[in-house]
Structure 1
């Protein structure tokens, strides 16, 4: 029976690709030298495919609840795969892989009747070709010798298979990709000097090998690489793929931060964002469509990159990694830094603030608390022998403890400081000193966090009983150290009452973190209020951008 390109094949492809990348993850991480030698390409690709696989499984699970005979179609499965990869894409290569999968989905879910009459082999050939064109649309400065080159070769080889079935097309693509991968050290100087093939390209070979396995009903293809492969051809450049892959990489000092976020924005705003981010940094990849995008860029000014996203639309799931001393150019041997800080924060502005202080950041979207695995992955990204973990949320304490324990099994010395609010995390970061002994640094950071009382202003969603009495939907609640202490009708006046209660116990510094959409006038009013009643108390204001609380207050 000939192989069938259907929803079951897509689900099997995702499962086999996840298994293959899991086995190859450490090897791919070890050869990661371009565009930044940060040793995480294998991990990023694994997490990207894991998100895709979860999305496909969710589609199948949804149909299972409708009865034993209900199953998703090919279009629904590939759309789920592409969407899952998009929202879970990590790093430069993971973001490009997500766009490749989006290109595949665009071709396998067409709206015209004529296309649906094509056989599976031709549909797969066209899908692989569209995938490459789509990926080039997302990469600002394509460079030869990377995952893009490998993808081109795969599509070229698939196009040359004639009337073969879809399994033959997949195997041809896999063989073409392996051949192109072997040639990458001769196409990109940094790879040649390190004596390695491109890490992202190797990951794509694993994904294509999994596709072969899914269509042949067996295990992923894992043949050894050829000894002397030719350069990839690009006969169909006129159809949208650039005829010259030789984009010019940026030389000189490497940027300090990797910034990644999901962005809800329209096409016109994203076009302006591409131009702005391209001027700010390098390794720019913006992928997606239909109002949802995944943005990846390496910059020196992380705050400016996030602000550009805020101007374009609504960014969320912001992840900012400080490369720091851990990056080692032109070598596949990466030394760990001695110490790093991992912060969990709820807003774009807070993410940029903590990243600029040198922390590895895990951004949080309202209602979507990070899992322990995401915190472990952040510890790995920090690539340090010693890590201080700041959860900045009382409800994340258990999750952070699980993550810390898992990271310790990997040889990392982890100290968990149970910060319950972002303002406690800011206070801890302010006294962080990597030059101190680890224990001394942890004690100082813990003391600073513990000396910071915190409050949060939020809006009641419904009537309920609180420690301050009964609140109605729409009331402004002032929570001090986690408990409702004040119920008011307006944000600024309620905040003034909260400040007075907190400062009655003393304080030297007030920190105000403004949420998304809160005007500066509120901060100005509160700053004047503090100055009138407490002349010796200083006030600092940050634009946190958090959606969960209009205002967060810290008193040190």
Structure 2
């Protein structure tokens, strides 16, 4: 699991520039690659820096630690959804010291369900569809293995998950009008495909399948930065972490739905504090930050509120991870 997240950090660093270039949904802000990279980096480094993880043999606990770190530092829609995916995938793996085909199928299914439910208005044709397709493909293979817990069966399920994810990525172009018009696939979907191929590579001890990306519309290195031709998006992205009761969490989601879009709320960890509150990661796009921040503060005391302009400078050669984005990880 540590090797998986380390590989994913490297791969997303290498591919961040191209992911940013085709990022036009839900807003054309050209940062999906950067957001995914920074979120996965937080997950990977939480394990590398935690001495207690060195001897940890519980697969679920390792991923739970990584998921909490990713959730606390999640960036954007894509990073937030990946952190939800990772945290949820950890749950069926708790108490297990190795991954099997059946556990993989359970983890992927739990993760995709939780990711879909985290969004107030989930949309097919995004990384959500890629997560779902991977989970269904792995489950179908596992169902035919009759409980086989061998590494061979696990390899077959991983192969199927990646193949299912690839098919879903190709299909995203047909599912969203914005992608069809620009003739590109979904950036978050491609990022999720890379992450899943990194999992396959880490578990099976094989190289990443660079050919997976061949022919994806808009993804060749020589293709233009599609997002630079899109109109600027008004408004801001507000994110924070906050402790809320279940009732207040439901209230906050409803109020944010009324004033904004792309509302994502998911629990950080599974336990309540001594007051019965749960920790939540909150994400929303709004025209102006103040009403959203006031709404959040009316229900609790948020940590690490961040406000980012959705209309960012359109400079395709500038970015926080460009030093890692000079080529494909093949």
Q: TM-score range by the shorter chain?
A: 0.7 to 0.9
**223, 226, 230: which one pairs with 2:211?**
223
- Which ranges of structure 1 fall in alignment gaps of 5 or more residues? 1-9, 65-69, 111-115, 229-252, 327-333, 337-378, 382-405, 411-556
Of 234, 246, 267 in structure 1, the residue corresponding to residue 246 of structure 2 is 267
Coordinate RMSD, CA, aligned: 2.7
Q: Distance in 2 between matches of 1:103 and 1:197?
A: 26
Distance (whole Å) between structure 1 residues aligned to residue 26 and residue 94 of structure 2: 33
For 1:125 and 1:223, the matched residues in 2 are separated by: 25
Which residue of 2 is the match for residue 157 of structure 1?
137
Displacement of 1:195 in angstroms is 1.4
Question: 61, 66, 69: which one pairs with 1:81?
Answer: 66
Instruction: Quote the Cα distance in structure 1 between the aligned partners of 2:184 and 2:99.
Output: 38
- Rounded to whole Å, the distance in 2 between the matches of 1:118 and 1:293 is 29
Partner residue in 1 for 2:93: 108
1:478-537 CA-to-partner distances (Å, cap 9, x unmatched) read: xxxxxxxxxxxxxxxxxxxxxxxxxxxxxxxxxxxxxxxxxxxxxxxxxxxxxxxxxxxx
Pick from 24, 49, 52: which aligns with 1:62?
52
- Size of the aligned set, in residue pairs, is 292
- Equivalence for 1:187: 175
Distance apart, 1:270 and its partner CA: 1.0
SS of residue matched to 1:140: coil
1:131 aligns with 2:111: yes
Distance 2:99 2:197 in 1: 21
| Structure number with higher helix proportion | 2
Equivalent residue of 2:17, what SS? Answer: helix
Q: In structure 1, what is the equivalent of residue 301 of structure 2?
A: 314
Q: 1:223 to 1:160 in 2, by over 3 A?
A: farther
Q: Please point out which of 31, 34, 40 is paired with 2:25.
A: 34
Deviation at 1:335, TM superposition (A): 5.8
**Unpaired runs of at least 5, structure 2:** 146-151, 217-231, 271-277, 326-330
Match of 1:23 in 2: 14
Q: Which residue of 2 aligns with 1:242?
A: none
Q: Determine the structure 1 residue equivalent to 2:3.
A: 12
- Is the partner of 2:251 in helix, strand or coil? helix
What does 1:263-412 correspond to in 2, within 5 Å? Answer: 263-289=242-268, 290=270, 291-324=278-311, 326=313, 334=314, 380=319
CA distance in 2, matches of 1:218, 1:185: 29
- Greater Rg, structure 1 or structure 2? 1
The answer to whether the Cα contact below 8 Å between 1:286 and 1:295 also exists between their aligned partners in 2 is yes
Give, in whole Å, the separation in 2 of the partners of 1:263 and 1:102: 17
Residue 185 of structure 1 deviates from its aligned partner by 0.9
Higher strand fraction (1 or 2):
1
How does the TM-score come out when normalised to structure 1?
A: 0.49
* Cα pair 1:212 1:221 within 8 Å, conserved: no
Counterpart-to-counterpart distance in 2, 1:118 and 1:325: 43
Q: Which structure would you say has the larger RCO, counting Cα contacts within 8 Å and 6 or more residues apart?
A: 2
**DSSP 3-state at the match of 1:224:** helix
1:211 has 2:199 as partner = yes
1:439-473 Cα offsets, whole Å, 9 max, x none, are xxxxxxxxxxxxxxxxxxxxxxxxxxxxxxxxxxx
Give 2:161's aligned residue.
Answer: 173
| Secondary structure, counterpart of 2:239 in structure 1 | strand
Structure 1 residue 268 displacement after superposition = 1.9
Deviation at 1:224, TM superposition (A): 2.7
1:145 equivalent in alignment to 2:125: yes
Instruction: State the match for 2:227 in structure 1.
Output: none
Q: CA shift at 1:321, angstroms?
A: 1.1
What is the distance in 2 between the residues matched to 1:86 and 1:150?
20
The Cα shift of 1:214 comes to 0.9
* C-alpha distance in 1 between matches for 2:258 and 2:52: 44
C-alpha change, 1:167 and 1:56, in structure 2 (3 Å) is farther
The alpha-carbon deviation at position 223 of structure 1 amounts to 2.7
Q: TM-score, normalised by structure 2?
A: 0.81
- TM-aligned CA deviation for residue 58 of structure 1: 2.9
User: How far off its partner does 1:323 sit?
Assistant: 2.5
- Once residues 79 and 306 of structure 2 are traced to their aligned partners in structure 1, the CA distance between those partners, rounded to angstroms, is 14
How far 1:170 moved relative to its partner?
1.7
Deviations 1:190-214 (A, max 9, x none): 0111111101101000100100011
Q: Following TM superposition, by how much is the alpha carbon of 1:222 offset from its aligned partner in structure 2, in angstroms?
A: 2.8
CA distance, structure 2, for counterparts of residue 182 and residue 50 of structure 1: 26
Residue 354 of structure 1: aligned partner: none
TM-superposed deviation, 1:264: 2.1
Aligned counterparts of 1:227 and 1:22: Cα–Cα separation in 2? 21
Moved over 3 A (4+): 116-119, 225-228
Q: Determine the C-alpha separation between the residues in 2 that align with 1:101 and 1:118.
A: 17
